[in-house]
Amino acid sequence: MSQKIEKPVLSGQRIKTRKRDEKEKYDPTGFRDAVLSGLEKADNDLDAISKYLDTAGSKLDYRRYGEVLFDILIAGGLLVPGGSIAQDGDKPVKTTACVFAQSEDMESMRNFEQVFVKLMRRYKYLEKMFEEEMKKVLVFMKGFTPIERIKLARMTALWISNGSVPPTVLSVLINEHLVKDNLALDFLLEVFVTWKQEKGLPSLMSALKRGGIEGRLMEFVPLNKRTDEYFRSVFESADLADIVKLHKAQASQEAKRDLQQLLVDDLGDNKPIKDIVSDLKEMAQRCHIPEHEVIGLIWNVVMSQAEWNKKEELVAEQALKHLKTYTPLFGAFTTTAKSELALILKVQEFCYENMNFMKVFQKIVLLFYKTDVVSEVVIMRWYKDGHSVKGKMLFLDQMKKFVEWLQNAEEESESGEDED
């Protein structure tokens, strides 16, 4: 009987790990120490600092430790949650080659700004890391000293205005503990004042719109002070009156959208016209929306309620029937000559932009005249010099006979009064 012979087995066999498969231990403190050593040799010479950071990128792993690098260049050392510097034993490990160690004057800020500009120009992949770093650093702001916050705000204005970070990073300041202690508002004001001085007001306004900050300015104000009066006084005292105007315009746009939606909802619920008028007047008064702007919103909503016939010969009858239903609504918001003229101009603009309505303009104005929505005085004012350039000759020609009739009626009326 044959016996199966066991094959010899190697004991203590080692599987060699390829170097490329080995994972290097994450060592932010080791990276920090290496960078601090290099910065110390630069001896606060900005050119030497930039030169060191340029060459060190080929030896140190910026891709892995980019945010640590920015911690050092902003705060001087490795930031830990809360905004303090990581310590080695009892003493913090930090450098003076950082934003917080610079003088707060703008010349010093601009000079040190170039360290960041040159670094990210050389290593483009750091740009995204810098954006994430700024979001983190701004949240840590409570842990910084008042003078460090001022320096950071001034430098942030430079970074956003030169494109190093997007203006959207400012939205992280809308954080409960920063807003409550007025830190968010103080920081924002310092950024705005610096930006206005360095790049001008138009640049600041453009960035606010680009970053979606213009509509959120009130959110930076502590909840217990969140009034228009306080907002105005704070920004005007910082010589930022134009920001107040921007805020008012934005608030007005939001209020108009809300009013427009209210009208859509009321019409959708088939509310009586008198109730709709009451709702709109109450909101317009509360939100300070003038009547001549309300009438434009009403026209837009009313005209959007119908699905218009594609045939030009049929659309006139449809439009007049549709509008006749809403003449009491239009009439409630044309109590001034300015509002009447605003409505006629809205009609002109709509008919010009919708080809099927080009021949309906005169019929709509006549309907509004017969239902006392617009007066003959305003119609003649529109005809003389109050019209828009959109389709001017076509619409003036349409209205010519009617205006002549109005003028003749007025002359006959005056003649009759003279005879009496």
d(C-alpha 306, C-alpha 16), whole Å: 77
pLDDT at residue 337, rounded to an integer = 95
Annotate the chain with three-state secondary structure: CCCCCCCCCCCCCCCCCCHHHCCCCCCHHHHHHHHHHHHHHHCCCHHHHHHHHHHHCCCCCHHHHHHHHHHHHHHCCCEECCCEECEECCEECCCCCCHHHCCCCHHHHHHHHHHHHHHHHHCCCHHHHHHHHHHHHHHHHHHCCHHHHHHHHHHHHHHHHCCCCCHHHHHHHCCHHHHHCCHHHHHHHHHHHHHHHHHCHHHHHHHHHHCCCCCCHHHHCCHHHCCHHHHHHHHHHCCCHHHHHHHHHHHHHHHHHHHHHHHHHHHHCCCCHHHHHHHHHHHHHHCCCCHHHHHHHHHHHHHHCCCCCCCHHHHHHHHHHHHHHCHHHHHHCCCCHHHHHHHHHHHHHHHHHCHHHCCCHHHHHHHHHHCCCCCHHHHHHHHHHHCCCCCHHHHHHHHHHHHHHHHHHHHHHHHHHHHC
pLDDT at residue 225, rounded to an integer = 93
* 397: pLDDT strictly greater than 70: yes
pLDDT at residue 246, rounded to an integer = 82
pLDDT digits (tens, 9 = 90+) for 181-207: 999 999 999 999 999 999 988 888 888
pLDDT at residue 17, rounded to an integer = 47
* 12: pLDDT strictly greater than 70: no
Least confident of 247-256, 272-281, 297-306, 321-330: 247-256
Average pLDDT (157-185) is: 93
Under 8 Å between Cβ of 173 and 217: no
pLDDT digits (tens, 9 = 90+) for 221-236: 999 999 989 999 999 9
Distances (CA, A) of 334 to 145, 223, 265: 58, 39, 22
Of the pLDDT bands very low, low, confident and very high (cuts 50, 70, 90), residue 26 is confident
pLDDT at residue 160, rounded to an integer = 93
Least confident of 21-35, 152-166, 360-374: 21-35
Average pLDDT (339-347) is: 96
pLDDT at residue 7, rounded to an integer = 58
d(C-alpha 190, C-alpha 234), whole Å: 12
Calculate the average pLDDT of the chain: 89
pLDDT at residue 16, rounded to an integer = 53
Of the pLDDT bands very low, low, confident and very high (cuts 50, 70, 90), residue 9 is low
pLDDT digits (tens, 9 = 90+) for 61-80: 999 999 999 999 999 999 99
Least confident of 67-71, 87-91, 99-103, 410-414: 410-414
Instruction: Return the top range by mean pLDDT from 41-45, 164-168, 251-255, 327-331.
Output: 327-331
According to DSSP, the residues that pair with 85 across neighbouring strands are 79
Of residues 26 and 119, the one with the higher pLDDT is 119
Of residues 360 and 8, the one with the higher pLDDT is 360
d(C-alpha 244, C-alpha 235), whole Å: 7
Average pLDDT (2-31) is: 61
* 416: pLDDT strictly greater than 60: no
* 60: pLDDT strictly greater than 80: yes
Structure tokens at 247: 């805020």
pLDDT at residue 266, rounded to an integer = 94
Give the whole-number percent of the chain exceeding pLDDT 90. 71
Of residues 335 and 15, the one with the higher pLDDT is 335
pLDDT at residue 56, rounded to an integer = 93
Q: How many CB atoms lie within 10 A of CB 41?
A: 11
Give the whole-number percent of the chain exceeding pLDDT 70. 91
pLDDT at residue 21, rounded to an integer = 45
